[in-house]
């Protein structure tokens, strides 16, 4: 069980500190070793069917400053292409495949939204951005956003009413893409209901870049990943990453072939790989640091990326950037304020402030072909972690 000093984040001198993650036993983390053994078994099982749920996976789970599980399974690269006639992947010879390791980077897809959201809340904390300010005050050239009075909070909570996406990948150039984004009107009354939309984070990206004079990749690097020591987290490209899709029409929106180390999302690709909604690559270990930082109130080691009040603001329902208490991917961790997100490529993370636990599950589920959405394995993994917490 973590010591009282570990759980509170206090050193022997009584000064506030934020212990770094360390690998240790489930018992030292206050977690049931049998449930975590079953978690590891379940993750390996995901990669062994014919076809597997995902060719490869990495799982990292822990409590407090202790990583109790860090495991890789399956293949980072297994297939040469997708065969639409058989509906199956064409496998590479075994010696040509690339095994998954705990250090393999993954295309995070929509987990990128969490980093864009943190970058925005950093500006809110500094007083340079108003959470209930109208976006049009910062981006007057974004006509529809200005006309409908969409606010920063509505972008962060997906209540702007903007449609889920736009075919920016079909535009001939950046000028046309920007013009399409500037003119897109809400399909619902802003503030009236939840409608998940990539456009929220794309517009937030433009706001942040206009406000700070720095590009999003620089904001994320300088404000989040560099101070936290997340050296394996970066925007596209990322050589050595797990492969994703054999991206071809009609199942995809563009024809790009087998993707590895370049962003899967078609709009993020069209935007040059740096986008508010997708484009980041990272590893399980780096994302565990990100989770631990938020669970510790915004600090990790000597670094502080947010104050505790602003972390609480992000994780309190309905969540800013984060989804809160969603059983469809959080399983039995949902219900007490667990927060997290999923990514289309097969990625997810969940952190539970009530029990000081976290789970990172990264897979290349779309390799070699996107299939029917299925988050039951994500929910199952989170349930294993929830059941592993002793005395919760």
Q: What is the CATH number of the domain that holds 187?
A: 1.20.58
Residue with tokens 């920063």: 152
Q: What does the DSSP assignment read for 313-336?
A: HHHSTT-SSSEES-HHHHGGGTTS
Position 4 scores a pLDDT of: 35
When pLDDT is averaged across residues 13-23 and rounded to a whole number, the result is 72
- Counted domains in the chain: 2
Asked if residue 261 and residue 200 are part of one domain, the reply reads: no
Domain end marker among 160, 182, 213: 213
> 226: which residues sit within 8 A by CB, 6+ positions away?
none
| Distance between CA atoms of residues 390 and 202, nearest Å | 41
- Asked whether residue 15 is assigned to any structural domain, the reply reads no
- Asked whether residue 310 is assigned to any structural domain, the reply reads yes
Is 17's pLDDT higher than 70?
no
Domain with 203 in it: 116-213
Q: Is the distance from CB of 32 to CB of 387 less than 8 angstroms? A: yes
- Asked whether residue 192 is assigned to any structural domain, the reply reads yes
Q: Is the distance from CB of 217 to CB of 52 less than 8 angstroms? A: no
Using CB atoms within 10 Å of the CB of residue 369, give its burial: 0 to 12 exposed, 13 to 18 middle, 19+ buried: buried
Mean pLDDT, the chain, rounded, equals 94
- Asked whether residue 248 is assigned to any structural domain, the reply reads yes
Instruction: Report CA-CA distances (Å) from 254 to 247, 249, 267.
Output: 7, 6, 10
Asked if residue 131 and residue 70 are part of one domain, the reply reads: no
Asked if residue 253 and residue 205 are part of one domain, the reply reads: no
Whose CA is closest to 377, among 363, 388, 366? 363
Residue with tokens 């809110």: 124
Is 391's pLDDT higher than 90?
no
Position 50 scores a pLDDT of: 87
C-alpha 4 chain-centroid distance: 30
Q: Count CB neighbours of 85 within 10 A.
A: 6
pLDDT tens digits, one per residue of 294-336: 999 999 999 999 999 999 999 999 999 999 999 999 999 999 9
| Distance between CA atoms of residues 208 and 221, nearest Å | 14
Position 71 scores a pLDDT of: 98
Q: Is 60 left (phi over 0), alpha (psi -120 to 50) or beta?
A: beta
| Distance between CA atoms of residues 267 and 289, nearest Å | 28
pTM: 0.94
> 272: which residues sit within 8 A by CB, 6+ positions away?
none
The residue ranking higher by pLDDT, 4 or 164, is 164
Is 14's pLDDT higher than 70?
no
Quote the radius of gyration of the chain (alpha carbons, Å).
Answer: 20
Position 186 scores a pLDDT of: 97
Preceding peptide of 237 cis, ω within 30°:
yes
Asked if residue 322 and residue 293 are part of one domain, the reply reads: yes
Residue 213 pLDDT class (50, 70, 90 cuts): very high
CA atoms within 13 A on the CB side of 32: 14
pLDDT tens digits, one per residue of 104-133: 999 999 999 999 999 999 999 999 999 999
């Amino acid at each position: 069980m973590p010591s009282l000093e570990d759980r509170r984040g206090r050193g022997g001198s009584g000064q506030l500190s934020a212990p770094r993650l360390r690998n240790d036993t489930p018992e030292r983390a206050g977690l049931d070793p049998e449930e975590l053994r079953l978690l590891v078994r379940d993750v390996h099982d995901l990669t062994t069917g014919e076809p597997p749920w995902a060719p490869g996976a990495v799982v990292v789970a822990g409590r407090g400053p202790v990583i109790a599980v860090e495991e890789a399974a399956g293949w980072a690269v297994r297939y040469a292409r997708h065969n639409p006639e058989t509906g199956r992947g064409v496998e590479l010879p075994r010696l040509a495949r690339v095994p998954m390791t705990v250090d393999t980077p993954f295309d995070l897809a929509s987990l990128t939204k969490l980093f864009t959201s943190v970058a925005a809340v950093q500006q809110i904390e500094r007083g340079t951005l108003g959470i209930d300010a109208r976006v049009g005050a910062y981006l007057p050239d974004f006509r529809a956003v200005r006309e409908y009075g969409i606010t920063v909070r509505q972008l962060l909570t997906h209540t702007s009413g903007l449609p889920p996406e736009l075919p920016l990948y079909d535009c001939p150039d950046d000028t046309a893409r920007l013009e399409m984004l500037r003119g897109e009107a809400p399909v619902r009354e802003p503030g009236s209901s939840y409608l998940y939309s990539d456009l929220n984070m794309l517009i937030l990206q433009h706001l942040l870049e206009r406000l700070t004079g720095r590009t999003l990749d620089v904001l994320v690097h300088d404000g989040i990943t560099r101070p936290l020591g997340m050296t394996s987290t970066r925007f596209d490209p990322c050589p050595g990453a797990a492969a994703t899709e054999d991206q071809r029409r009609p199942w995809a929106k563009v024809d790009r072939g087998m993707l590895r180390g370049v962003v899967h999302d078609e709009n993020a690709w069209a935007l040059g790989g740096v986008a508010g909604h997708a484009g980041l690559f990272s590893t399980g270990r780096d994302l565990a640091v990100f989770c631990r930082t938020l669970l510790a109130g915004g600090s990790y080691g000597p670094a502080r990326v947010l104050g505790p009040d602003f972390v609480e603001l992000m994780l309190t329902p309905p969540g800013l950037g984060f989804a809160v208490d969603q059983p469809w991917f959080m399983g039995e961790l949902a219900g007490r304020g667990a927060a997290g997100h999923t990514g289309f490529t097969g990625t997810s993370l969940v952190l539970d402030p009530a029990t000081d636990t976290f789970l990172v599950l990264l897979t290349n589920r779309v390799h070699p072909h996107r299939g029917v959405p299925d988050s039951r394995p994500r929910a199952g993994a989170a349930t294993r972690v929830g059941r592993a917490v002793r005395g919760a």
